[in-house]
Structure 1
Amino acid sequence: MRLSRSLIPTIKETPAEAQIVSHRLMLRAGLIRQQSSGIYAWLPAGLRVLHNIANIVRAEQTRAGAQEILMPTIQSADLWRESGRYDAYGPEMLRIRDRHDREMLYGPTNEEMLTAIMRDSVQSYRDLPQMLYQIQWKFRDEVRPRFGVLRGREFYMKDGYSFDLDYASAVSSYRRMMLSYMRIFRDMGVRAIPMRADTGPIGGDLSHEFHILAPTGESGVFYDKAFETIDLGNDTYSYENQADLDAFFDHMTSLYAATDEKHDTVAWSNIPEADRREGRGIEIGQIFYFGTKYSEKMGFAVVGPDGAKIHPEMGSYGIGVSRLTGAIIEASHDDAGIIWPDAVAPFHAAILNLRQGDATTDALCEQAYAGLGDAALYDDRPARAGEKFADADLMGHPWQIIIGPRGAANGMVELKRRRTGERAELSLEDTLAKVRG
């Protein structure tokens, strides 16, 4: 993408309404623009980040055996009355009426809708287990929307649901999702800490939150130092092996983490003081097991092998995709701007033309741009070099390919790594090879 033709409206000033780093940097880097309280438009670069995060989620969920679906954002109030949650959910639910005076709602979550879909589609135990997920916009009417996309009203979320015949199988699905989540966050280039959590309005008696460690995190967390080096490789644990899933979960719970607000006494007894680490965390996902809470209330049963009716055991699994964008920035930035992990960056590299109009410089920039295509943002603006450097640091591209007339005359470019600040003078061929990885 050529920056001269792009809608990436960077700003130098710190927006007065932005209280935290990620909100400030997302506005300044031209990723989002606020439309109303807690509701944002995602501009091209911001949307690319959302897509990159969502695609990492999709890839690992597919490996874990989940199937992607897409459900409506608007739901019937009758479904929520079946589960008993319509009146109990609280004012965070946006309740609306259509032109026929039917009560509807903008879905904050989808346990009821998917239970109804399964009730209409699955009748036999032979059709289970099933694991399904979607990535979709949701709405919760926060009383005080703040912190940009970390606490907005409309948000982009991955929500998944499992259906199993019995408790043991449901627990296996839960552990499968915990492993999938840990790999998802690893693949995004961030460190996540799982910790036991309250189930809240979702219900059930087993739940874990996942927190990204960030200096500006909203919760104090304690964790075992082993989380810093834990091996989640695909060869270490298999999704298809029950013993592997059990071993993984046992390893996680032996390293139990806790928030200082919740005073989890189990964690203090499990983590030796010498191995205990303290930090700040931002919640970016949560998983739940809640048994037959919804299948019983909504009349979803399958015929078992002996002809008896069985209410499937269920779990649900959420990841805040839009929230992750802000959380990653909170965990990875400096005074100059964002430092994107390679896997989620909107562009893998920025090409900085330091002498727009110089034939040799222009030609080498065009070669670099052709070599990287859509993975690069080509800063071809007739702007000062200092402005281009500042915007490249602000936007956080993992690599900067800096091309000026002196180096271009010899076919050389300067390559800068945003995270470390390391610079090297290389041929264009070697530069492209390094950037492509």
Structure 2
Amino acid sequence: MAPEFTNWRDEQLAWRKTSVLFDQSHHMWNLNIKGPDALKLIRDTAVNSTEYFPLDAAKQYVAVNAEGHLIGDNILFRYEENEFQAVGMAATINWLQFHAETGGYDVELWKDAPSAMRAGDPRVYRYEVQGPGAIDVIREAVGHDVPTVKFFHGARMTIGGKQVRALRHGMAGEPGFEFVGPWSDREAVHTALIAAGERHGMVQVGGRAYLTNTLESGWLPRPLPAIYSSDSTAAHRQWLSATSPDARASLGGSFVSPNIEDYYFTPFDLGYGRIVKFDHDFIGRSALEDQVSDGTAEANKKVTLVWNAEDTAAAFGSIFDGGIGAKYFNLPLANYATYQYDRVESGDGGYVGRSNYVGYSANERSILSIAVVDAAYAEPGTEVTVLWGEQPVSSKVQVEAHQQIAIRATVQPAPLVAKARTEYRANTTASA
């Protein structure tokens, strides 16, 4: 995927103003699970309920280890009665594959790595059209009214003469659909979407802007998976290859602890309490029940931090001053490690949380970050401080000599965008 089709600022603005086309074919992992035990594998490893899971629908699959710490999440599609496809980051894809291969499940798997780690073409294309004008584009592409579909439910459509699977979706709080099909069909589908979009002001989004839409939608894409300690995950660690993404990841930022478990999250920390269902037995169930009963589930809250413009400008502008300045801000995504963990402090310097994903939003004209903070500091409007930069400076090649600085930030909800919090999940119509 091109880094930019126009420029990342206009591409960010377009998902709020008109409509955008995301090409999601190249950067995510795919794991296809097919067989009589496919649903059992999912039920045994997911905190989600699978009692309601119709064909062509999807769930945000969430997994934890036996101690109730988060492995991660992905999007799990149900394509047929006994066929599912998980799409997302490596951690949960590997977690599912490991249990499928070692747990005696009667399933067949195929896995597709991101394009940067794979020779040859992907097995499937994945396009998403979203934004206030998305339904107009899709209606043009399919040649008729778009069917009424609930959020995260699907339909079959024909685009460019090819049948596609369509999932009702929306990544920054705006309406849209995600389209999936065999790679051999991608050119016909892509051409038809582009042609329809030209008549409605659709903008193609490149890789730089794409990575920042989560800042507005409130999803944390890279929590450190809880696989690096405890006997419960030892077999999984031994199963992983030394070249896997989980083995080659880096930690960065001002939050530093000698205890790797201090970097873990629970599903409740990230707002997944609404997903956790105790209607089935699954890995980590008893630990999550304990977290609910002892109050741990309410201890932390996921929030958006809006960084102070004056402090951020001073930090960014320090590259023009003499001497050693602040850690450089890459724009639009400022993370400088696989797993970014910056220390969040109260006014008196006390630790109150971890800031994890940071970048610039042209829609908000601000640096934003997704953070998990003590519930007492989660009220919108609360002022906190983020420590930006490392002390001491680590040996990562992307980290230059710099001074660690404090930047004020204001706590706001996650998702930051009101429509993402209040409308698009509840909406049952495609045209909303």
| TM-score bracket for this pair, using the shorter chain length | under 0.3
- Structure with greater Cα Rg: 1
**More helix as a share of residues:** 1
Q: Which of 1 and 2 has higher RCO (CA within 8 Å, sep 6+)?
A: 2
Normalising by structure 2, what TM-score?
Answer: 0.23
